[in-house]
């Protein structure tokens, strides 16, 4: 019985791989950098399985950044994230969460390796070109804020 339950838990991961949520922020979208950023993600083997251009509402920003609501920079962050369209996506692949975090670099572009997306396209600690989920649990929370199941295309 235990073996069957374990197999059922492992099976979706074998079939689907790991998914993460990523979002290109308004300044990078405005500067027409979305194509280059997505190309860099795909070049590392991540698969784009959902994609949309959309504008976040302040209510969505409250939900999305719920853990940062009490931070002094939250009002500025919300204003920036709702200032123009974002490009939201779901990425699928082996270790998609850690791989995407590695590719984007640390929060502050000034501290990021030159080849990372934040070093290449980020302006500042807040306006840092791209978001990516920091864990599988975060990805599972963030993906449904932007995508319904029908908008995610996992078949190979």
Where on the chain is the footprint of ligand DAT (CB under 6 A)? 68, 73, 77, 107, 125-126, 128, 131, 134
Nearest to 34 by CA among 53, 55, 57, 56: 53
Is the CB of residue 108 less than 8 Å from the CB of residue 125? yes
Q: Which is nearer to Mg ion, 134 or 151 (CB)?
A: 134
Q: Is 134 in the site for Mg ion (CB under 5 A)?
A: yes
62 binds Mg ion (CB under 5 A): no
Q: How far is the CB of 141 from ligand DAT (least distance, A)?
A: 13
Three-state SS for 85? coil
- Whole-angstrom distance, CA of residue 86 vs CA of residue 131: 10
CB of 80 to ligand DAT, least distance (A): 9
Query: Catalytic positions, please?
Result: 131
Span from 72-80, 81-89, 120-128, 132-140 in contact with Mg ion (CB under 5 A): 132-140
In the complex, minimum distance from the CB of residue 134 to Mg ion, in angstroms, rounded to a whole number: 5
For residue 77, the partner it binds in ligand DAT, Mg ion, none, with Cβ less than 5 to 8 A by kind, is: ligand DAT
End-to-end CA distance of the chain: 31
Strand partners for 22: 89, 132
Helices 96-104 and 34-43 sit at what angle, rounded to 10 degrees? 130
| Interface positions with Mg ion (CB under 5 A) | 134
């Amino acid at each position: 019985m235990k073996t069957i339950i374990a197999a059922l838990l492992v099976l979706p991961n074998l079939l689907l791989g790991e998914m993460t949520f990523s979002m290109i922020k308004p300044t990078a979208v405005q500067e027409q950098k979305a194509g280059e950023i997505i190309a860099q993600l795909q070049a590392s083997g991540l698969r784009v399985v959902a994609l949309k251009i959309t504008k976040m509402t302040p209510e969505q920003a409250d939900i999305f950044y719920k853990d940062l609501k009490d931070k002094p920079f939250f009002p500025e962050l919300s204003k920036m994230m709702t200032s123009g369209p974002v490009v939201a996506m779901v990425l699928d692949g082996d270790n998609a969460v850690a791989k995407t975090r590695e590719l984007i670099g640390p929060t502050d572009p000034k501290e990021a390796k030159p080849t990372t997306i934040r070093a290449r396209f980020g302006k500042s600690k807040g306006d840092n070109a791209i978001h990516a989920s920091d864990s599988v649990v975060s990805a599972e929370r963030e993906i449904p804020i932007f995508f319904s199941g029908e908008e995610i295309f996992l078949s190979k």
